[in-house]
Amino acid sequence: MLFSPTAFATPPVGAESVVISQSTVDGIDYITREIIIQPGGSTGWHYHDGRTFGVVREGTLTRTMEDCSEMISPTGVGVTEEGGNVHVGRNLGPVPVVLWVVRIAPAGTPWAMEVPPPPGCPI
């Protein structure tokens, strides 16, 4: 499972992740994951504590943000997220989306927290 379940949250569909590396230094977790979202798949609505940095290795990632705006990131584009930003990552294309993502957060913090979709967002 990609994320921890929360009541009324939107679960991931067609998304999986593998930890590439993980270390804790001075109470801070540094975790690198490869995330794969299959065509038509989604991460489900969620947010991260800490900061997240990544790069789209394959495919095109479409992120819908809490204000219902969309950010489209094709192969080779970097993505960043500040902690607490609610969003959903989707693969609207014909090939898998492959992301390499690094999250920096307080030690022991869950990778992501699932949440219900924001009111008014069509997804």
Tens digit of each residue's pLDDT (9 = 90 or more) over 37-72: 999 999 999 999 999 999 999 999 999 999 999 999
pLDDT tens profile 87-114: 999 999 999 999 999 999 999 999 999 9
**How far is residue 123's CA from residue 46's CA, in Å, rounded to a whole number?**
13
Domain 13-107 has CATH 2.40.50.180: no
Confirm whether pTM is higher than 0.85: yes
In the numeric block, which tokens belong to residue 113?
A: 């927290």
Domain boundaries, the chain: 13-107
Nearest to 72 by CA among 84, 64, 62: 62
